[in-house]
Structure 1
Amino acid sequence: MSTSTAPLPAPARSGPAPAPRRTAALAGALYLLTFAASIPALVVLDPVLSDPRYVLGAGADARVALGCLLLVVNAFACAGTAVVLHPVLEARGSTLALGFVASRLLEAAIVVAGALCLLAVVQLRREVGGAGAADPEGLATAAAALVAGYDVSFQLVPVMAVANALLLGTLVHRSQLVPRAIPLLGLVGAAPLLAASTATVLGVNDQFSPLSLVALPGIFLWELSLGLHLLVRGFRLSPATAADPA
């Protein structure tokens, strides 16, 4: 009497699953979208940011609303980068990956809060503003407070960019998902930008001072080069990325 044995199941693979190409491309596109939305927004929002009596004048409400929409797009793209990358990053460092998601979501919330402040100025001008306002000085003061709220949010964004660079840069540098020169840009650029941003928040530095401008390129090039690399080349899958560094 012969007996047959069922084939044994294949052993489970250890380590994280390979990172799909389309995940990298989507993350890269979202990174580039943050640049495409945030940089034009600064130009489009100039009327409400540069005119302290905007709420009392003829206004450029459609232009300001467009700028706020660009900020919201930037916020969604910002959060999207973390959400899209999380399944790939979690297998290579769950704590850093979760921290990156939390940091990126907080950055997105700060950006949206700034946009809401400027939309509130537009709403004030439409409802009780303009040349015939009953209390022009009080209205101008309220609008200035809302613009100040936007300015505070704008000062905090670089601080969040530093946190993102330290979390994500450490993780991708350790796991070698991208060439190490790319995260090094963020890791090296984090310290000067953190110093300049902290000084700005404390009121001892202007956000557009030479110190701030010198501190910005490291983080700027880190996010730009990461987005381009993920979009064009994808993740670097090598034996070094096939095992959990932990």
Structure 2
Amino acid sequence: MNFTRKTALITGVLFIITIVFSIPGALLYGPLLNDPNYILGPGADTQVALGAFLEIVVAAANIGTAVVLFPILRRQSEGIALGYVASRIVESTIIAVGILSVLSVVTLRQDFAAGPGADAAPLLAAGHALVALHGSTFLLGPGLLAGFGNGLLLGYLMYRSGLVPRPMALLGLIGGPLVFASGIAVLFGLYDQVSVWSGIFTVPEFLWEASLGIYLIVKGFRASPLTAGMPDGVAPSGRRGAAG
């Protein structure tokens, strides 16, 4: 397996991991995020911890998609490729802050709320603040930054390079700005983060990431000047002459 095929396969697997692990990860947080008195109750700490573990895998896979693609995408535009890597790193950092917020609720419940004579009011206030922090990280990370980096930047690079079918790359160029704009709308209170409008605006981005992952696993990259002449097994160091 040569370098470009291996790169495509690894990238495709990482994209599928981000999708497959992110959905159950978010659902497993349900008892903590939906119960305002979770911090005072019996809790579902093992379930929440499993959700946190899945999100850690998602954050690592996010960064992996950009790092693995960088040696090829830099030949199209090194600046935009670096921007994509940076956006994925920042997105994953924000996801990590969200993970810490839910695990902090679990720690407070175990160490203080369950103890004798615990004062409910400050514990509830702390729990609500940490849950609100998690909501903000979800908006900024998988929302705004994913739309900008994974949608707009990666969609542009894939469209210009022709590494995947251009109609597919258009999903990223359309879906990314839609997700970003939806995040701005939620930020300014036009509708809720979990709403019909938010779901509708997320569909093109979801289809872009899913189709990209499947295509790269099954087909690999299309023939492109970016991959021409790459030696087997090693990453190229040169750039294409006409950067986009």
TM-score, reference length from structure 2: 0.89
Runs of at least 4 residues of structure 1 off by over 3 A?
238-245
Pair member with larger Rg: 1
Deviation at 1:239, TM superposition (A): 5.0
Instruction: Find the partner of 1:161 among 146, 158, 162.
Output: 146
Instruction: Find the partner of 1:78 among 62, 66, 69.
Output: 62
User: Distance between the aligned counterparts of 2:226 and 2:22, measured in 1?
Assistant: 35
Aligned residue number for residue 176 of structure 2: 190
Cα separation, partners in 2 of 1:240 and 1:126, compared to 1, 3 Å: closer
Matching residue's letter, 1:196? S
Instruction: Find the partner of 2:27 among 7, 22, 43.
Output: 43
Alignment coverage as a number of residue pairs? 229
Deviation at 1:87, TM superposition (A): 0.7
1:210 aligned onto 2:193: no
Matches within 5 A, 1:78-227: 78-130=62-114, 132-156=116-140, 157-164=142-149, 165-227=151-213
Deviation at 1:207, TM superposition (A): 1.3
Aligned residue number for residue 235 of structure 2: none
User: Distance between the aligned counterparts of 1:209 and 1:96, measured in 2?
Assistant: 32
Deviation at 1:200, TM superposition (A): 0.7
Aligned residue number for residue 7 of structure 1: none
User: Distance between the aligned counterparts of 1:240 and 1:134, measured in 2?
Assistant: 62
CA RMSD of aligned residues (A): 1.6
Cα separation, partners in 2 of 1:133 and 1:106, compared to 1, 3 Å: farther
Matches within 5 A, 1:2-17: none
CA deviation profile, 1:87-145 (whole Å, cap 9, x unmatched): 11112210111000000101111111101000000000110013745211110110110
> Structure 2 unaligned runs (5+)?
229-239
> Structure 1 unaligned runs (5+)?
1-17
2:21–2:57 CA contact under 8 A, matched in 1: yes
1:174–1:245 CA contact under 8 A, matched in 2: no
Deviation at 1:194, TM superposition (A): 2.0
Matching residue's letter, 1:226? L
Cα separation, partners in 2 of 1:192 and 1:158, compared to 1, 3 Å: same
TM-score, reference length from structure 1: 0.89
- Secondary structure (helix, strand or coil) at the match of 2:113 reads coil
